[in-house]
Amino acid sequence: MLFLDTFKIGEKLPPNQYSALELAYIGDAIYEIYVRTMIIADTNCPMKKLHKEATNLVKAKAQADYFRAIEGILTEEEMAVFKRGRNTNSRPPKNADLIDYKIATGVEALIGYTYLKGDEDRLNVLLGYLKK
């Protein structure tokens, strides 16, 4: 999976021992790569439109809506990781609702955890719930 072998992720520190914010940090990047790949998969349009579409999918409100779509399929382990991320002390940007921002942090932690576990199949299932 993308870069896991290169950096030998999991050999020194298993994914469940990363802090919630570290999981969210990498999860944010994986989520954004998925979104950007998804929106260019079947279209060729101006960068301004691509950027707007990507931004609409990665903002806190969209991630909170996405969580509501996947909540029912999460395992106990995945829900625990989500809650670790959601419950971290972080400050939302001025334009984000606090609840949505906390949920988005939980989503990013979940995506980061699943990625660091190397569970590509599960990551594809979870991210498959994203809609343009």
Q: C-alpha distances in angstroms, 4 versus 9, 11, 39, 81, 105?
A: 5, 10, 24, 19, 22
Quick check: is 28 catalytic?
yes
List the structure tokens of 38.
Answer: 């998804």
Contact 15, 117 (CB under 8 A): yes
Give which of 69, 56, 127 is closest to 103, Cα–Cα.
69
Given the residues 28, 42, 97, 119, the one annotated as active site? 28
Alpha-carbon distance of 40 to 63, in angstroms, equals 19
List residues with catalytic annotation: 28
